[in-house]
Structure 1
Amino acid sequence: MSAQFTLYSHVIGPNGWKVAQVLCELGLEYNTVMMEFGDGENGVKGPEFLKINPNGRIPALIDHSANDLIIWESGAIIYYLIKKYDTEHKLYPASPEEQALVDTWFIFQVSSFGPYTGQAVWFKVLTGNVNTAATDRYMFEVHRMCKLLSGQLSLEGSNGWLVLGKCTIADLAHLQWVRFLFKLGIDLETEYPAMYKWKEAMLARPAIARSTVGEVWN
């Protein structure tokens, strides 16, 4: 029996892995197609993939049980999955009030933590810190947001999770981007111990272990 979903991802792209983690947490079967950057035969800018995602980015997801519905943008994919398949509210609560609390941190990752971290990696690592002003700006923002996350994880009653005292899509959205911080020379264990403890608890989840098979970085 073929898998219900096809996930288009990348070996080091955090956004693809966070979708895989949601799929695994919900017990959904999927196959992954690993794409490459660029416009080659298997590239995200190539003509075949652009038919799936005209924006030329990963991830993209096809739900074969819904007439091959295509969704792209990681946030949109995750919202689709939890709205349709999280019927037991494992990762997303039922009430609008609690949904708003989860959404706050979920959107924070999509709009702020992910983009700023990605830009910091670009300017500090991938371009060799040539533009020091840009590097300093994005590194400042990354550290500011790490302090914000650390404070949230340390709140009384949080149980070490971002919101509602349990793992939600807010936590799953952040995990791979937090793991990306080592590329910026950030030592979570010493600089942000609350985030390090949370990261280790996330990685100990069986669904996370299943979703990260084939990873090439830590």
Structure 2
Amino acid sequence: MIEVYSWATPNGHKVHIMLEECALPYRVIPVDIGTGAQFDTKFLTISPNNKIPAIIDPQGPDAAPISLFESGAILLYLAGKTGKLLPADTRGKYEVLQWLMFQMGSVGPMLGQAHHFRIYAPEKIAYAIERYTNEAKRLYGVINKRLASSRYIGGKDYSIADIAVFPWLRSWKNQGVELKDYPHLKGWFDEIASRPAVQRGVEVLAQQRKPLMDDKAREMLFGATQYKRH
């Protein structure tokens, strides 16, 4: 059984959804990032960047255990393990992978900054709010244009590219975006949201998550603790 060290965040939900889609047995170990659980020594041995999610698969390659951090790497690993949600042909595989990298390099970091400056930053900096809100809208536009000519983000079939992007777009209101302004994206979003495995995946740990607005949570996520040597 795969052990999943996670929390109810977009990056955590990616892995929860993938495990549900692949019907893999898994056990969730909550890592409450608002209380500093991500700095626990045991967790740092499998996720040295102190970020969730991370996994341990006791039945890894050659039947030997493997631990992995970084949600994109985990999605690729699970796709390889199961033979699901990543095309087998070279052209199709790289079409999906470019959009997975787009999520990892642009959608996650930029929308994360939009969340930070619009919601969590103690000081409201107009320049930062405008910059990252505009970037969020630009990225939604890129996705909307892609979905005008492709049923799914990675191509004609549902894949890890859709699983990677979807959780980040669930917070569109917090990013200063209106889904109705992106009709192709909205149609895709509604379809993905209706998938039973997706619905199960986004509920994992959802009841344990609390608003990250108190002083301790701010310190754990954005304060000096992040920059200490571990």
TM-score (norm 1): 0.87
- Contact 2:18-2:75 within 8 A present in 1 as well: yes
- Contact 1:38-1:46 within 8 A present in 2 as well: no
Deviation at 1:206? 1.9
In the alignment, which of 70, 74, 86 is matched to residue 73 of structure 1? Answer: 70
In the alignment, which of 175, 193, 197 is matched to residue 166 of structure 2? Answer: 175
- Structure with the largest fraction of helix: 2
AA of the residue aligned to 1:6: E
The 1:25/1:10 distance shift into structure 2, 3 A limit, reads same
- Contact 1:117-1:181 within 8 A present in 2 as well: no
The 1:164/1:142 distance shift into structure 2, 3 A limit, reads same
SS in structure 2 at match of 1:65: coil
AA of the residue aligned to 1:167: Y
Q: Which residue of 2 aligns with 1:22?
A: 18
Q: Give the percent of matched residue pairs that are identical in Structure 1 and Structure 2.
A: 33
Work out whether 1:150 is the aligned partner of 2:147: no
Work out whether 1:83 is the aligned partner of 2:80: yes
- Give the unaligned 5+ runs of structure 2: 210-230
Deviation at 1:186? 2.1
SS in structure 2 at match of 1:165: coil
Q: Which residue of 2 aligns with 1:7?
A: 4
Work out whether 1:31 is the aligned partner of 2:51: no
- Contact 2:15-2:71 within 8 A present in 1 as well: yes
Q: Which residue of 1 aligns with 2:183?
A: 193
Equivalenced residue count is 204
Deviation at 1:196? 1.8
What's the Cα RMSD here?
Answer: 1.7
Distance 1:36 1:118 in 2: 18
- Contact 1:152-1:162 within 8 A present in 2 as well: yes
Distance 2:123 2:167 in 1: 23
Q: Which residue of 2 aligns with 1:207?
A: 197
Distance 1:49 1:69 in 2: 14
TM-score (norm 2): 0.83
- Give the unaligned 5+ runs of structure 1: none
- Contact 2:115-2:175 within 8 A present in 1 as well: yes
SS in structure 1 at match of 2:170: helix
AA of the residue aligned to 1:69: I
The 1:38/1:164 distance shift into structure 2, 3 A limit, reads closer
In the alignment, which of 93, 104, 113 is matched to residue 99 of structure 1? Answer: 93
- Contact 1:38-1:45 within 8 A present in 2 as well: no
AA of the residue aligned to 2:174: K
Cα shift readout 1:99-156 (whole Å, capped 9, x = no counterpart)? 111111110001101100001110111115622212211111111111110011111x
